[in-house]
A = this chain, B = another copy of it.
Amino acid sequence: MAFDAIETPFGKSDRIIGGAATYIALSASNFVKPIKQISVVGGDFPQEELDHLTSLGVELEGVQIKKDEKSFFWAGRYHMDMNERDTLDTQLNVLANFTPVVPDSYQEDAEFVMLGNLVPAVQMSVLNQMKKKPKLVVMDTMNFWMETALADLEEVLKKVDVLLVNDSEARQLSGQYSLVKAAKTIMSMGPKYLVVKKGEHGALLFHEDKVFVAPALPLEEVFDPTGAGDTFAGGFIGHLAKTKDISFNNMKTAIIVGSAMASFCVEKFGTTRMKEISQADIQGRIQQFVDLVNFDINII
């Protein structure tokens, strides 16, 4: 839960609400309640944003508020190819010394755990505090931790069921260019499932020898991709937690749900679009994904 300042070819935002946990919760709350949030913010984090999350069924007992400190801040710039971005500024602030605490009240039905992208040691600390082994642990990470904390990352990977990374990160982590080979290598490191996010090119789901390909919705404009990966993650685990079905078949559906949620996120700056959408919007968008890939198989 943080602040972002974003520049894209279509415009520029002031300091706006962002952060992986914010996007994940906004997205997942469309599918399952309560969501038991763990994060840290400074005294500068707006109370109305916290109240909004509460109204969506997001419990905040695990969110530490450090009144005399500042929230994490990131500023970045995107170009026409939104798969790449430049970081203009990073201020760790409260994240510099974040020690997550999993409240007792979270332990009861925390069957589905989503570890947002953060220092692997912090992700591990959350898992170590779980008194019961979760039904499913999904983890996001990034190239930065592969370069600066690989040993810690490898330890967390051993405890994770589903890893979400983008295509260049899958290649970097595995040392394999072919994504099929990369998936085999990564699945030998711990995760039973690998989701490879490819932005405008969709996403791949690997499990054992199986693979599933989900498209991205072709959009007139990707206005701001910030948070799209986290929104995808929120839709993915939200659907799984709602249905309590962790079969490969249901994971495929979860990938489509995540892709649909991400396709909303990029339509406006920051979290704007995620705060507008209704259940009917979501259903309509998922139907668009059905139409997007549906073809007649009686070809002979």
Query: Measuring CB to CB, which residues of chain A are less than 8 angstroms from any residue of chain B?
Result: 80, 177-181, 198, 201-202, 204, 211-216, 218-222, 239, 249-250, 252-253, 255-257, 283, 286-287, 290, 292-297, 299-300
Extra pairs beyond A249-B295, A256-B295 (8, CB < 8 Å): A180-B218, A180-B220, A198-B201, A201-B202, A213-B215, A213-B218, A253-B296, A290-B297
Question: Separation in Å of the A68 CB from the closest CB of chain B?
Answer: 45
Cβ of A249: which chain B residues have Cβ within 8 Å of it?
Answer: 295-296
| Residue of B whose beta carbon sits closest to that of A181 | B220
Whether the Cβ atoms of A257 and B211 lie closer than 8 Å is: no
Whether the Cβ atoms of A252 and B286 lie closer than 8 Å is: no
Q: Which of A211, A215, A219, A249 has the largest count of B CB atoms less than 10 A from its CB? A: A215
Interface class of chain A by DSSP:
mixed
| Residue of B whose beta carbon sits closest to that of A31 | B299
Cβ of A204: which chain B residues have Cβ within 8 Å of it?
Answer: 218
Given A239-B299, A299-B239, A211 contacting B180 (CB threshold 8 A): no
Q: List the number of copies, as a whole number.
A: 2
24 A-B residue pairings within 8 Å (CB atoms)? A80-B177, A178-B219, A179-B218, A180-B218, A181-B220, A201-B201, A201-B202, A202-B202, A202-B215, A212-B293, A213-B218, A214-B295, A239-B299, A249-B295, A250-B296, A252-B294, A252-B296, A253-B295, A253-B296, A256-B295, A256-B299, A257-B299, A286-B297, A293-B293
Q: What's the Cα separation between A180 and B218 when bound, in Å?
A: 6
Q: What's the Cα separation between A299 and B250 when bound, in Å?
A: 9
Whether the Cβ atoms of B178 and A220 lie closer than 8 Å is: yes
Question: Separation in Å of the A205 CB from the closest CB of chain B?
Answer: 10
Q: What's the Cα separation between A58 and B239 when bound, in Å?
A: 52
Question: Separation in Å of the A11 CB from the closest CB of chain B?
Answer: 15
Q: What's the Cα separation between A300 and B279 when bound, in Å?
A: 10
Given A213-B202, A256-B295, A219 contacting B180 (CB threshold 8 A): yes
Cβ of A215: which chain B residues have Cβ within 8 Å of it?
Answer: 202, 213, 215, 293
Q: What's the Cα separation between A257 and B297 when bound, in Å?
A: 10
